[in-house]
């Protein structure tokens, strides 16, 4: 039985990963950590945790423990590592959001830099088989070459959030080299789905349309996003977790860093206007909005805003090659599942 630490376990990807592991692995021992902050509606985090608790209570051969705490709390992290002796660590705890990093930079340094440093130090002092951590497609900045490949140079972030994620990759590389810690960074591309983050466009648009407010579509709709359904992200994370980069010695007698980075994206960018169109259709289909809703009256095309990029597009060739996996959920199917969940959760 592997003992796994999942940080950000009440978060969107974290909670879905815990559920997937409990569902598919016959016996698994998971410690979940999350600080339950109020960056967005805490009731969604509580809902995700209640879904985990329900499932965990049925899985008699598996273990699930939840700890309310912050990865920036070094003493807590050190004590957890020495008490539980983790085999695998999946660090998904982070302050997310490009726009929020412009108005609230402090929390990004605390969580994404200091918090990640604490995880690395704990892995150094309590050796683990594999450290997997969340990076982001935002590290590509306004990369002109598409699709984005992990071979591309990523030295020009356009937001503090992106800079912290690039820093994570650099820190992990240094620790992999110095202490032979197998680590894999995963650059996620625009994750969406049921019980997602309300600050993401599809969720925020739905909240506004329900209230009869106007939604703003940036860059006059000329943006493309590689929307990736959460189940596809989780499947990618699960496969990567189980195969740590190999430890090897170099010609200099020192370890070659057991270090990898992969993109997890849908490999098919969608125009923002098409995305909004599909979202509208699925909200009507799920009866979240009435069939005669006047969408045109509630839409406004506005200029690009700071920190944003015109296109995201994942090259997933190395993920396919190494793990035989490629995300495949269509945008319509994913938004259909979101609309159905939204209706049930908010009792529309």
Active site residues: 161
Q: Of 126, 89, 84, 107, whose CA–CA distance to 14 is shortest?
A: 89
d(CA 255, CA 239): 24
What stretch of H or E contains 103?
Answer: helix 100-103
Contact yes or no for 161/98 (Cβ under 8 A): yes
> What whole-number distance in Å separates Cα of residue 193 and Cα of residue 219?
24
Q: List Cβ neighbours of 251 (8 Å cut-off, separation of 6 or more).
A: none
Q: Alpha-carbon distance 153 to 139, whole Å?
A: 10
Any residues with CB less than 8 A from the CB of 62 and at least 6 apart, and which? 22, 25, 26, 27, 28, 29, 30, 56
What is the rounded CA–CA span in Å between residue 299 and residue 254?
58
């Amino acid at each position: 039985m592997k003992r796994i630490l999942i940080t950000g376990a009440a978060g969107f990807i974290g909670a879905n990963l815990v559920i997937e592991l409990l569902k598919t692995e016959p016996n698994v021992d998971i410690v979940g950590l999350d600080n339950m902050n109020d960056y967005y509606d805490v009731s969604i985090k509580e809902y995700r945790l209640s879904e985990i608790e329900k499932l965990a209570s049925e899985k008699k051969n598996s273990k699930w423990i939840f700890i309310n705490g912050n990865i920036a709390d070094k003493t807590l992290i050190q004590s957890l590592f020495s008490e539980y002796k983790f085999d695998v660590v999946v660090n998904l705890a982070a302050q997310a959001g490009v726009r929020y990093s412009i108005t609230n930079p402090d929390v990004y340094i605390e969580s994404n830099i200091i918090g990640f440093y604490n995880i690395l130090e704990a892995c150094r002092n309590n050796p683990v088989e594999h450290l997997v951590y969340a990076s982001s497609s935002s590290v590509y900045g306004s990369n002109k070459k598409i699709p984005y490949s992990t071979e591309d140079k990523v030295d020009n972030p356009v937001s503090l959030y992106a800079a912290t994620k690039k820093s994570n990759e650099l820190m992990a590389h240094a620790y992999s080299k110095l202490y032979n810690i197998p680590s894999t960074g995963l650059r996620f591309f625009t994750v969406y789905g049921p019980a997602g983050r309300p600050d993401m466009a599809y969720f925020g648009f739905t909240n506004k349309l329900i209230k009869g407010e106007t939604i703003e579509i940036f860059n006059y709709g000329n943006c493309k996003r590689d929307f990736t359904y959460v189940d596809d992200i989780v499947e990618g994370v699960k496969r990567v977790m189980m195969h740590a980069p190999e430890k090897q010695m170099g010609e200099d007698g020192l370890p070659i860093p057991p270090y990898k980075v992969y993109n997890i994206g849908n490999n098919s960018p969608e125009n923002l206007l098409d995305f909004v169109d599909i979202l509208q259709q699925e909200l009507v289909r799920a009866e979240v909005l009435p069939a005669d809703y006047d969408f045109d009256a509630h839409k406004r095309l506005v200029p690009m805003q700071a920190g944003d990029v015109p296109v995201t597009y994942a090259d997933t060739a190395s993920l396919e090659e190494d793990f035989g996996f490629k995300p495949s959920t269509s945008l319509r199917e994913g938004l259909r599942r979101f609309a159905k969940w939204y209706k049930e959760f908010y009792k529309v």
